[in-house]
Amino acid sequence: STPETNALLITTAVGNVLHTADWKLDSAPIAGQAINPQLYRSLGQTGIDVVVCDSTNATVAGHSVSESELFNGL
């Protein structure tokens, strides 16, 4: 995952697109802040029609290790 990426909410006449770029739900990230679940819940209530995203191993069940757990070994 790419540290400190940003998501864009693109509003058009025909619908709303949420473009998240690369992301990781990490509760203890090395850079930046942890995800704010309430922010994404509120975005969902605005009427998102399409989500464009990329996340390594998103189709694999379970959780990946936090970046903070790997930091000392880098």
pLDDT tens for residues 5-58?
A: 788 999 999 999 999 877 777 878 887 788 888 988 898 888 999 999 887 777
Q: What is the pTM of this model?
A: 0.67
Please check the confidence at residue 2 and state whether its pLDDT lies above 70: no
- The answer to whether position 3 is within a domain reads no
Distances (CA, A) of 26 to 12, 23, 45, 48, 66: 31, 9, 23, 23, 6
Split into its structural domains, the chain has a count of 1
User: How far is residue 19's CA from residue 33's CA, in Å, rounded to a whole number?
Assistant: 19
Q: Residue 1 falls within a domain, yes or no?
A: no
Q: Could you list the residue range(s) of the whole structural domain that residue 66 is in?
A: 8-73
Domain membership of residue 45 (yes or no) is: yes
- Contact between 44 and 7 (Cβ < 8 Å): no
The pLDDT value recorded for residue 20 is 86
Q: Which helix H or strand E contains 68, and what residues bound it?
A: helix 67-70
2, part of any domain: no
DSSP 44: H
